[in-house]
Structure 1
Amino acid sequence: MTLALMDERTSFSGGAMDKGRLEAFSDGVMAIIITIMVLELKVPHGADWSVLAAQWPVFLSYVLSFVYVGIYWNNHHHFLHAAKRVDGSVLWANLHLLFWLSLMPVATGWMGENEFARLPVAAYGFVLLMCAIAWLPLQYSLICANGGKTSLLAQALGGDWKGKLAVAMYLGGILLAFVAPWVSCLFYATVAAIWFIPDRRIESRIKQ
């Protein structure tokens, strides 16, 4: 018992924490989120096109959310690949992000089952907004843990125009949801399309 405590203290004070556990835990949570979302898709009771047509709002909301979770997983992988170490701040910031991502199945199901009604679309946008906001402290804490403004991550990010544009479009989508929910969904899909294009900033810095 004493040796175990000594090893634990050493891992926190004498060297960097193991980022592998952070990656494995985050990958597992995101995989569970996608699994929960796909389980919300009900098997159609029938064998004609009308049965499938009744399921399109749920399926469309699932596809959008699947893309979003995939985008966060992709960027999360790139960030941790570029990072050399993590600390306690990174762990808590990562949990903060995972908390908001874990609400995606609920927001997705509510929006799809209510055929993109105003309040569910606004709530979905709020979850997307909070995920984007939660990404910022994770990003900041990783940069601080890996050399600050002169680090590879900081240089690769630059002005991060994508992140700023995403927050602005989420806010606009939430407000428009009470007037034109389909326009809000278009906003959300546009942000997903922007981020779906592979971001080569970190990869190019690593190669250099």
Structure 2
Amino acid sequence: MNKNRLEAFSDGVLAIVITIMVLELRVPPEPSWNALLGVFPTFLSYMLSFVYVGIYWNNHHHMIHLADRVNGRILWANLHLLFWISLFPFSTRWMDDSGFAEVPVLAYGFNLVCAAVAYFVLQQSLIRQQGRRGALARAIGRDWKGKSSPFIYVTGLGLCLVHPLLAVAAYTVVALIWLVPDRRVEQFVTRGHEDAAG
């Protein structure tokens, strides 16, 4: 099957998720700096979730770029990932509305863990379809970011029982790790084009 519909559908879903999240930002109740500071925590939780959606969009784009075609297993794995990402507006809003209380922060972390697992499942489905010597498997290599992220998430879930903001700090660390540009796939694609031209 052609991969273009999968990528277009995924892009549309991620755009809607971001739109829903930005609509959750409330305008300050009065035109003052104090009122603006009052909604600052809401902005920070929105920004964290926006960064996560951006990270998934970016990595999803690179991963699908290396796929030559998709099958039914990949379509369902992709929907599984989109399901967990589509819950980001809900878990973000609950975490923010509760004032970063323990259970909503745990739920947000659980949402992040499930999205990470779903991304791994999609990645492995694509690798299985291509084979271990395929483009994606070779581009990913040892994948230290992908392997360390769930560990940090689980650490964050444990830290939440000490103080919820420690968990938010752990979730932010994972986002910062992924914000650093990962050139593995881009370098692999560039090398492939250069080899083809040569």
User: Please, what TM-score do these two structures have when normalized by structure 2?
Assistant: 0.94
Decide which moves more: 170-179 or 122-131: 170-179
1:181 shift after superposition: 1.2
Q: Does 1:170 align with 2:165?
A: no
Decide which moves more: 151-160 or 99-108: 151-160
Alignment of 1:146-161 (within 5 A): 146=130, 148-161=131-144
Note the alpha carbon deviations across 1:24-55, whole angstroms, 9 max, x for none.
10000000000000000111121111111111
State how far apart, in whole Å, the 1-side matches of 2:4 and 2:162 are.
45
Indicate the residue corresponding to 2:190 in structure 1: 207
Alignment of 1:37-56 (within 5 A): 37-56=21-40
Q: Identify unmatched segments of 5+ residues in structure 2.
A: 192-198
Alignment of 1:15-26 (within 5 A): 17-26=1-10
Aligned residues: 191
- Aligned letter for 2:123? Q
Secondary structure of the 1:149 match is coil
Indicate the residue corresponding to 1:11 in structure 2: none
Indicate the residue corresponding to 1:66 in structure 2: 50
Q: Is the 8 A contact 1:143 1:149 kept in 2?
A: yes
- Aligned letter for 1:99? F
Indicate the residue corresponding to 1:80 in structure 2: 64
Secondary structure of the 1:169 match is helix
State how far apart, in whole Å, the 1-side matches of 2:119 and 2:135 are.
18
CA RMSD of aligned residues (A): 0.9
State how far apart, in whole Å, the 1-side matches of 2:128 and 2:85 are.
23
Q: Is the 8 A contact 1:119 1:178 kept in 2?
A: no
State how far apart, in whole Å, the 2-side matches of 1:110 and 1:102 are.
14
State how far apart, in whole Å, the 1-side matches of 2:188 and 2:126 are.
16
- Aligned letter for 2:81? L
- Aligned letter for 1:166? S
Indicate the residue corresponding to 1:133 in structure 2: 117
Indicate the residue corresponding to 1:198 in structure 2: 181
State how far apart, in whole Å, the 2-side matches of 1:168 and 1:19 are.
31
User: Please, what TM-score do these two structures have when normalized by structure 1?
Assistant: 0.90
Indicate the residue corresponding to 1:32 in structure 2: 16
1:23 shift after superposition: 0.5
1:179 shift after superposition: 1.4
State how far apart, in whole Å, the 2-side matches of 1:82 and 1:89 are.
17
Secondary structure of the 2:16 match is helix
State how far apart, in whole Å, the 2-side matches of 1:129 and 1:53 are.
30
Pick the structure with greater CA Rg. Answer: 1
State how far apart, in whole Å, the 2-side matches of 1:38 and 1:125 are.
20
State how far apart, in whole Å, the 2-side matches of 1:39 and 1:89 are.
33
Indicate the residue corresponding to 2:195 in structure 1: none
Q: Report % sequence identity.
A: 56
State how far apart, in whole Å, the 2-side matches of 1:175 and 1:83 are.
37
Indicate the residue corresponding to 2:194 in structure 1: none
- Aligned letter for 1:116? F
1:136 shift after superposition: 1.1
